Amino acid sequence: MSIESTLKEHFDQELREAGLNEPRVPRLDVHRRRPLPSKRGQLILARAAIILVVLGVGALGIALVRDQTSNPPAASPGSKTLPQTAASTVDGDWTAVAWEGWLFQYPESWTLRHNVTCREGTLRIVVSKEKSDPCTQLSASPGSDAFVALVRWSDLKYQPRPTGVMTNDATELTEMFSSGGPGGNASVVYRGASRADGSTAQSIAASFTSPRTPVDDAPSYLEGGDSLAEGLDSMMDESSVVFIPREVPTGTSVGSLSVSEDQAEMELTIESQDGAGFLPTIWLCFGAEESSCGPVRKATFTRTFGSAQWDCSREGSALHAYCWRQFSTGEWAKFRVWHATFSEEQLDLILGTLTRDIDSAAWAKN
Amino acid sequence: MEDIRLRPTSPEATQTFEQFYEENWLGYVQRAYLILRDRAAAEDVAQDVMLQISGRWSEILEPRAYGYRCTINGAIRMAKKHRRTLPPPREQVHGEFEYLADVIDRLPLRMRVIVVLKYFDDLSHDEIAEVVGCRPGSVGPTLNRAIKRLSKEIER
């Protein structure tokens, strides 16, 4: 057998072993470069181009005049109604503990809503996009943005799996759990490109962790199925992201907390552990006390990586929370929650939920 | 570098991006995989290519060819960036397949890319030169050197 045919077979076998051979994709075309015309040819082409331009302009002018005189202007397409997602829900055998962390990063012109349903064996995620960012007022044309979604799912190591593409306003991803059971986790990574402003998003990740407690022990508030879901949904609805380039040192873990009359600031630097994981999730912190901005209760990490800084403040009944997070691209994302007007009961539920799984957290402070 | 928009209307013009994605996703991953030998990295390259295309979907007249070139270039860039880690070291060289894979892995990156383009995609020398951005006259000698090296290793 010749070396050429050996190589052909080898490449096919490589793809088979990697599970990439089906279906066999035909040879992809390569665009051939056309030879440049001679000087004489170039002159002829240039003349032809000039004639075509003159004719084209004339024809366009005539068409415009006709259009204005005989036809009314075409109606502009109405603004597209974007789908409204239902409240985020976590049901079935998975409890609210599943919401270990969310992390968003996407162009400023995007506001995404996630509707996640976790059932035993299935993770269903519906993502929809809103047309403008309430914070920056940057608008994106509905339907003009596109992003591809990639679900990375496994217990520990990530197994990228392309699942679909979203070019309109909503997409639905359904993933079957590979192992299921307590302790598993999945990250959904979207890579997006906004045609409106040309920006691209590295990723958006959402992590879900299955409950570590049996379902029977799940908190009673889950039975109603609304309080936590609504609370989280309120957060999601009014969240936005802006990118803030800034430099935060990495190094040995250092935590500090300062509380003034109307603001609490917490800074935390964690020793970077390169390769420790993909896009760690950092939770926001919230205050729940009436008397001050609310002490920062807890902050949890699913993985230690990079650096983070929080800044929480409370004005009247509105809760403001900020979270910065550096991504592998070097960008900083500032995540802000406006008007998370939870009741004390809701806050307690959320905080209780958030802080339940922090046994391995790097830092926690009242 | 050729401007792909110079091309006249292609058969892909009526295709939606979703259709394009479905039809070409795997092909891009395959090509990137053969260069990178890392599935996750290959999928990352293909994702980036799809993003580029989706962002310029209305402008690109030959998205398939454009994506193909982006894939090869993206895989080369990633291989250079991670040249210490990609392709992943093989655990053990057992049989003929593993041995040949190991030999191909040890080819210089550019040579490996040219071998893939030639023997996986059956591209002509001119096409290979266009994709990797080199002179057409240098493709043949590079391939010859690669074949010689591979034959020598296989004969051992």
Residues A106-116 have pLDDT tens digits of 333 333 444 44
> Which is higher by pLDDT, B148 or A72?
B148
Interface of B with A in 7-46 (CB under 8 A): 7, 16-18, 21, 24-27, 29-31, 33-34, 37, 39-40, 42-44, 46
B111, B113, B116, B118 alpha-carbon torsion, rounded to 10°: -70
Residues above pLDDT 70, as percent of chain B: 79
Q: Provide, as residue numbers in chain B, all residues whose Cβ is less than 8 Å from the Cβ of A141.
A: none
Question: Minimal Cα distance from B70: which residue of A?
Answer: A30
- Average model confidence (pLDDT) for chain B? 77
Identify which of B133, B99, B95 has the alpha carbon closest to the alpha carbon of residue B117. Answer: B133
In this complex, which of B21, B115, B127 lies closest to A30 when CB atoms are compared?
B127
Cα of A31 to nearest chain B Cα, Å? 6
A27, B120 in Cβ contact below 8 A?
no
- pLDDT digit string (tens) for B46-55? 877 876 776 6
Report the C-alpha gap between B153 and B156 in whole angstroms. 5
Q: Do the chains contact at A30 and B64, CB–CB below 8 Å?
A: no
Residue of A nearest to B10 (CA): A31
- Report the half-sphere exposure of A240 (CA within 13 A, side-chain side): 18
ipTM of the complex, rounded to two decimals: 0.84
pLDDT value at B115 more than 90: yes
Average pLDDT estimate for B89-101: 66
Cβ proximity of A124 and A174 under 8 Å: yes
User: Is B34 in Cβ contact with A3 (below 8 Å)?
Assistant: no
Q: Answer whether B59 touches A (CB < 8 Å).
A: no
- Residue B72 to chain A, least CA–CA distance (Å): 11
**pLDDT recorded at residue A44:** 62
Helix, strand, or coil (residue B118): helix
* Residue B77 binned pLDDT confidence (cut-offs 50, 70, 90): confident
Helix then strand count (H, E) for chain A reads: 5, 15
**pLDDT score of B42:** 84
Contacts by residues A13-17 (CB-CB < 8 Å, ≥ 24 positions apart): A13/B97, A14/B33, A14/B34, A14/B37, A14/B101, A15/B30, A15/B33, A15/B34
> In the predicted model, what is the mean pLDDT of residues B116-138?
88
How far is it, in rounded angstroms, from Cα A236 to Cα B32?
37
Q: What is residue A184's predicted lDDT score, i.e. its pLDDT? A: 35
CA distance A339 to A2: 71
pLDDT of res. B13: 54
Q: Is A238 helix (H, G, I), strand (E, B) or coil?
A: coil
Q: Kindly determine whether residue B33 and residue A6, on different chains, have CB atoms separated by under 8 Å.
A: no
Q: Is the pLDDT of residue B75 over 70?
A: yes
Q: Choose the mutation target among A20, A144, A145, A203 for the interface with B, i.e. most B CBs under 10 Å.
A: A20
> By the CB < 8 Å criterion, does B140 face chain A?
no
What are the tens digits of pLDDT across the range B25-45?
889 989 999 998 887 778 778
Indicate whether B6 pLDDT > 60.
Answer: no
Which residues of chain A does B67 touch, with a Cβ-Cβ cutoff of 8 Å? Answer: 28
Residue pLDDT, tens place only, A21-55: 765 555 555 544 333 344 555 566 667 666 666 66
User: Taking CB atoms and an 8 Å cutoff, what residues of chain A touch B33?
Assistant: 14-15, 18, 20
From CA B106, how far away is CA B101, in angstroms rounded? 9
**Which of A25, A31, A165 has its CB closest to that of B18?**
A165
Three-class SS of residue A331?
Answer: coil
For B57, the closest chain A residue by CA position comes to A195
- Asked if residue B82 has pLDDT above 50, the reply is yes
| Number of alpha helices (DSSP H) and beta strands (DSSP E) in chain B | 7, 0
Percent over 90 (pLDDT), chain B: 10
Partners of A187 on chain B (C-beta within 8 Å) are: none
Residue B106 has pLDDT above 70, yes or no: yes
Q: What is the pTM of this model?
A: 0.41
Q: Which residues of chain A have pLDDT under 50?
A: 31-38, 63-366
Contacting residues of A for B4, CB less than 8 Å apart: 31
Taking every pair of Cα atoms in chain B, the longest distance, rounded to a whole number of angstroms, is 53
Report the residue from A26, A27, A162 with minimal CB separation from B25: A162
